[in-house]
A and B are shown apart, each in its own frame.
Chain A
Amino acid sequence: MRLVVDLNRCQAYAQCVFLAPEVFSLHGEEALLYEPRVAESRREDVLRAAAACPVQAILVDPARRPEEAGSDGR
């Protein structure tokens, strides 16, 4: 699964770092670094982090239905 953080919005509340530390980390006091591609098995963690973000800055791929994989951007 793919994700992106709108870092204009992000205010370094670090909720995501708390909930999915393998995916999100702070670099220095408030620069957020994240993994833009995460194993499907971590989807629950990432969705929880996205839901907890106070400014809703985290965008996650919807679960990919198999029939789309061929036509949509592959």
Chain B
Amino acid sequence: MAGDDAVRALRRDGRIVIVGASLAGLRAAEQLRDEGFTGSLTVIGDEPYEPYDRPPLSKQVLLGRVRPEDTGLPRRRPVDAHWRLGVAATGLDLDGKRVLLADGDAVEFDRLLIATGVRSRPWPHETEAALDGVHVLRTRDDAARLTRRLAGRPRRVLVIGAGFTGSEIASACRERGVAVTVAERGAAPLVGALGGVVGAVAADLQRDHGVDLRCGIMVTALEGDPAGRLRRAHLSDGTVLDVDVAVVALGAVRNTAWLAGSGLAAGPRGIACDAGCRAFDVHGIVTDDVFAAGDVARTPHPLFGYQFISLEHWGNAVEQAAIAAHNMVSPGPERRPHLWMPAFWSSQFGVNIKSVGVPSMADELLVTQGSLAERRFVAAYGYRGRVIAAVGFDHAKWMGFYAKLIEEAAPFPPEFPAVDRRPEGLRPVPAGFPDPALPTHGASVTLTGHSPSERRVVFTPSRA
């Protein structure tokens, strides 16, 4: 077939460009070579560093146990790529099949993979954001700055936003003996990602570790001294706090601005792709030479009602990059869909939190093992009579079991007579997700297929 010949030629001496030199970009480059791609491979990254791993930045690195520069990702294999690091892609010429670079160069491609991820949402007030002492945490450089600051024994750190990153930062502060206040607009930490029931456990955990946690509160202003150093924070309840460090942890913004006007369906919610990671153009027609993977992508997921889901999860970036790379150099019938079971972990205050599925879709939950009061439990999340997610605190060994229930669209409440089931596990309770129309911080799963103010998606279980 002519198409197969074209793919063969592409594999042999095509030109592939990857924009974004981080987790997804690296794993895609490795996969391309694994698949036998022998053409030219260019990886463009605006950070000056080789791909490094971000999860340790808010954990080992902030604790001072690992240096930020020691987080480089291991390689699965040599990738023989032309690395263009420290230079941003500034535009995409779809017709000319060229990526435009900040240094004025342009790189031509036969296939393009976009893996530009997300960046921290900045503090909205620019002069306040520029105060010495105001931080965000996304990059190696951010981590180096914040770690230095924590080592300087600040009087009090203010963390703005109690999503996963904010909560991990607060945990690191406490472990280092630094006083910390956490201000969260929602009713509890992690509420956007895990709901109010589990959020309440996270709140107790924070308070027990000496965090000054303030929920239902917004930071209204950050105030500096004449030298431009952060001194005080003003809260929506009228309180004024003396702080010399503030970390803005208000979630992330997708790195798609460079694609404006390119004709790709790229916007603040990410790049819309089909399940094979091919990007859509603005007409909703799928392209065949532009792919996306990792935090920047959003794809329809059959297990979750074909909603377009974007996941800011490490495991998703790894898996999606491999699928995208495979599909980039494979003829149609050999292409594979990205059907990854969403999963992530977080460690904070000495607890290993794990999640599978999409908790934020759920309306009810049931504590199937352990107990909330002991902070060792599994909660199964239900959506319209089926298991849609599970969250475990110090129950890592069980997550695979729940992943299987989700895959099988097992009925909710689950029927199995669980070991270690307690009285609180006998009846489902509302999961307690905030009204999706209200913005919260740090939900790491975004359901973007429908207006966030209405959740009318009809789910058809796969076995029906």
With contacts A35-B70, A68-B78, A72-B79 taken as known, whether A8 is within 8 angstroms of B344 at the C-beta atoms is: yes
Asked if B345 and A4 make an inter-chain contact with CB atoms under 8 angstroms apart, the answer reads no
Asked if A11 and B396 make an inter-chain contact with CB atoms under 8 angstroms apart, the answer reads yes
A 42-74 to B, binary, CB cutoff 8 A, 1 in contact else 0: 000000000000000001111000001001111
| Interchain CB contact (< 8 A) of B345 among A8, A37, A68 | A8
Give, as a whole number of angstroms, the nearest-CB distance from B30 to chain A: 11
B394 CB–A CB distance under 8 Å: yes
With contacts A11-B397, A30-B394 taken as known, whether A72 is within 8 angstroms of B51 at the C-beta atoms is: no
Give, as a whole number of angstroms, the nearest-CB distance from A41 to chain B: 16
B 348-384 to A, binary, CB cutoff 8 A, 1 in contact else 0: 0111101000000000000000000000100000000
Chain B residues, Cβ within 8 Å of A61: 74-75
Asked if B78 and A12 make an inter-chain contact with CB atoms under 8 angstroms apart, the answer reads no
Chain B residues, Cβ within 8 Å of A62: 75, 77
With contacts A12-B397, A30-B396 taken as known, whether A6 is within 8 angstroms of B315 at the C-beta atoms is: yes
Asked if B66 and A59 make an inter-chain contact with CB atoms under 8 angstroms apart, the answer reads no
Asked if B50 and A73 make an inter-chain contact with CB atoms under 8 angstroms apart, the answer reads yes
Main secondary structure of the interface of A (DSSP, over half): loop
Give, as a whole number of angstroms, the nearest-CB distance from A15 to chain B: 13
Asked if B80 and A3 make an inter-chain contact with CB atoms under 8 angstroms apart, the answer reads no
Interface residues on B, range: 35 or more
B71 CB–A CB distance under 8 Å: yes
Asked if B343 and A36 make an inter-chain contact with CB atoms under 8 angstroms apart, the answer reads no
Asked if A60 and B347 make an inter-chain contact with CB atoms under 8 angstroms apart, the answer reads no
Report the nearest B residue to A3, measured CB to CB.
B74
A10 CB–B CB distance under 8 Å: yes
Give, as a whole number of angstroms, the nearest-CB distance from B211 to chain A: 16
Asked if A28 and B314 make an inter-chain contact with CB atoms under 8 angstroms apart, the answer reads no
Give, as a whole number of angstroms, the nearest-CB distance from A62 to chain B: 7
Chain A residues, Cβ within 8 Å of B78: 68, 72
Asked if A2 and B73 make an inter-chain contact with CB atoms under 8 angstroms apart, the answer reads yes
What would 5 more interface pairs be, CB under 8 Å, given A34-B60, A35-B60, A72-B81? A12-B396, A31-B347, A37-B66, A37-B72, A72-B80
